[in-house]
A = this chain, B = another copy of it.
Amino acid sequence: MTEPADYGRLIVQGADRPGIVATVSGALTEHGANIVALDQSSSDPSGGRFFQRTVFHLPGLSEKLDALHGALDAKLGDELGLDFRLVEARRRKRVAIFVSKMDHCLLDLLWRQRRGEIPMTVPMVVSNHPDLGDDVRQFGIPFFHVPVERGKKAVAEKEQLNLLKGNVDLLVLARYMQILSGEFLDELGVPVINIHHSFLPAFMGAGPYQRAKERGVKLVGATAHYVTEDLDEGPIIEQDVIRVSHHESVRDLQRKGADVERLVLSRAVGWHCEDRVLRDGNSTVVF
């Protein structure tokens, strides 16, 4: 997590073909970069999709970034038809957090940010309720209250977009109890991560702990996923579970589940901020 100025990340993905690893590592080495860590995966030995995350060290990275990008564009883009992203590790992602009234996921993220566990900045927290303003501002972070009135979601989303546009690289829904419209997601143009309080695809939709109790499951879980227009259907980043027993009430399940929710969401956001999560259709590759 130490990110001196000279570290970079190269994310490559596309149709698999022989020689990609050699080409990528060769291109980096030619430009004087030393590969510090490399993860690679293919969905299938032949004809599959290819994924690679490379961390490299290159003295004077900032000045050389444009030249390196150009060279990679020629080699990886034009010749091999691959998508790639070139990222300076020192540029922390700007992460906005949407929240309603529950504080556990929010506080866990803010506390990890303060400890330096997640390489992100948090330019703002936005809520449809005023309750968590004090907690947020104690971390030195702006808190904006944007009420969502019944039947006037479009108004609220417009106000939210005004706050977010151009200011953030990621939006995190930390138990935000409103559904975002497809227009909002399109307009926003950056990834959105949500935490769902069940082990998806079990208990999609509302009231998962209540339904878990009714079904008598022996484990409850949580799922962090990218948000798409299809509610609770987006690519899963991380999941985990905790054991529960017959003597526990719905409220007990909520409490135990809250511990899983905050861990799962924090892991997912941390991995995203380190460019470890690559989308593969409706799945993810997590390096």
Contact = CB atoms under 8 A, between A and B. Distances in A.
Interface of A: 1, 18-22, 25-26, 28-29, 34-42, 45, 57, 103-104, 107, 111, 115, 117, 138, 199-203, 214-219, 221, 235-241, 245-247, 251-252, 255, 259, 263, 280, 282-286
A237 B218 CA distance: 8
Given A42-B36, A201-B202, A283-B246, A239 B259 contact: no
Given A199-B199, A218-B238, A280-B246, A22 B42 contact: no
18 contacts: A21-B38, A22-B25, A35-B40, A36-B42, A37-B40, A39-B40, A103-B115, A199-B217, A200-B202, A200-B217, A201-B215, A202-B202, A214-B282, A215-B236, A215-B282, A217-B239, A246-B284, A246-B285
Nearest to A112: B255
Given A22-B29, A199-B199, A246-B285, A239 B219 contact: yes
Contacts of A202: 199-202
Contact of A40 (B38, B201, B238, B280): B38
A201 B200 contact: no
Nearest to A19: B29
B219 A199 contact: yes
